[in-house]
A = this chain, B = another copy of it.
Amino acid sequence: MNYKQLSQEIKKKKSFLCVGLDSDINKIPGHLLEKEDPMFEFNKAIIDATAEFTVAYKPNIAFYESEGAVGWISLEKTVKYLKNNYPDIFIIADAKRGDIGNTSNLYARAFFSKMDVDAVTVAPYMGEDSVSPFLTYDDKWVVLLALTSNKGADDFQYHTDKNETLFESVLKKSQAWAGKEKMMYVVGATRAEMLADIRKIVPEHFLLVPGVGAQGGSLEAVAKYGMNENCGLLVNSSRGIIFASNGTDFAIRAGEEAKAMQMQMQVLLENVSF
């Protein structure tokens, strides 16, 4: 999926919601554990209940990997289910990968060729040649970590060289590696006011914003400081939606939560010209 198509989906659905499929086997409703593949059954029900309000899904790879090969099968089935039933939805593998060139090549193959998702989150620590292998696929994206929403973000991301923080260096340097058609950035919502400064560096790129909801960020603040003329935002919510209930009504409740966010987003999108 390319920049224009993604923007059009946002316009059509009046939503810039990304639902995080952090489908922890220890948290999914008990009645699903009798099924042959509980994680997949959970995801399928969540997807069917929320797809109408959502432009993207973001499976967090750790939750699958922690179950070993069995978890990878659940993940592969989930991606296939999305591609077959909701081909216009953007899929982000939240993997935070990044290694030397020949290794990143293999990670890119895993996610873009073997699994066929649209985007992968990548950590920038190892620099350009750790990121560029992900940029060689048509209409596939890197979502590069810039300023994350966790406490540890303070440890290194504000390391300041000649008045430029590390995350600002990441935003600036990486623009030479790819433009807004292939690169997005992770910017945490817990620091929404910083989005205004970040927008000065990357006015046109999509920003993937985690940390709204469970992690405490405000959707209004994210839109106020981060939205651009094409929207340019994907706001992720995971636990607040997928674990809204752990009873048999989990999918209905997830749909309600997703709808509530979509309705807020619809109002916020009225300021966007498209």
**Beta-carbon nearest neighbor of A104 in chain B:** B62
CA–CA, A133 to B188, complex, Å? 21
Stretch at the interface among A83-91, A135-143, A165-173: A165-173
Decide: B100 and A98 in contact? CB cutoff 8 A: no
Expressed in whole angstroms, the minimum distance between the Cβ of A126 and any Cβ of chain B is 5
Segment at the B interface, from A2-10, A42-50, A108-116:
A108-116
CA distance A109 to B62 in the complex (A): 9
- Of B60, B62, B94, B170, the residue contacting A156 (CB under 8 A) is B170
Question: Bound state CA distance, A65 and B129, in angstroms?
Answer: 19
Q: Does A107 contact B (CB under 8 A)?
A: yes
Q: A69-B72, A72-B69 are in contact. Are A107 and B155 (CB under 8 A)?
A: no
Is the beta-carbon distance between B99 and A97 smaller than 8 angstroms? no
Of the candidates B63, B94, B129, B166, which one forms a contact with A152 in the assembled complex, judged by CB atoms under 8 Å apart?
Answer: B129
Q: Is A125 at the interface (CB under 8 A from chain B)?
A: yes
| A127 contacts across to B, CB distance below 8 A | 150-157
Question: Of the candidates B60, B76, B109, B156, which one forms a contact with A166 in the assembled complex, judged by CB atoms under 8 Å apart?
Answer: B156
Contact A103/B60 with A68-B72, A114-B67 known, Cβ cut-off 8 Å: yes
Is the pair A65, B110 in contact by a Cβ cutoff of 8 Å? Answer: yes
Q: Which residues on the B side are within 8 Å of A107 (C-beta)?
A: 62, 65-66
- How many copies of this kind of chain does the complex include? 2
Compute how far the CA of A155 lies from the CA of B123 in the bound complex, rounded to whole angstroms.
13
Interface size on A, residues (CB 8 A): 56
Which of A60, A110, A155 has the most C-beta atoms of chain B within 10 angstroms of its own C-beta?
A155
A125 CA to B160 CA in the complex, in Å? 14
Also in contact, A114 and B68, with CB within 8 A (given A62-B99, A63-B106, A99-B62): yes
Contact between B126 and A153, CB atoms less than 8 A apart: yes
Q: Decide: B68 and A96 in contact? CB cutoff 8 A.
A: no
Contact flag A169-B173 (CB < 8 Å), given A76-B68, A96-B97, A115-B68 = no
- Mark out the residues of chain A between 192 and 251 whose CB falls within 8 Å of any chain B CB in the assembled complex: none
A255 on interface, CB distance cutoff 8 Å:
no
Chain B residues near A173: list those with CB within 8 A.
155-156
Assess whether B150 is in contact with A100, with CB atoms less than 8 Å apart.
yes
Top-4 shortest CB links A-B: A127-B152, A127-B155, A62-B106, A69-B72
| A-B contact list, 20 entries, CB within 8 Å | A62-B97, A66-B110, A66-B114, A68-B72, A68-B76, A68-B115, A69-B73, A72-B72, A124-B125, A124-B156, A125-B125, A126-B150, A127-B153, A127-B155, A129-B152, A130-B152, A155-B173, A156-B169, A159-B166, A166-B166
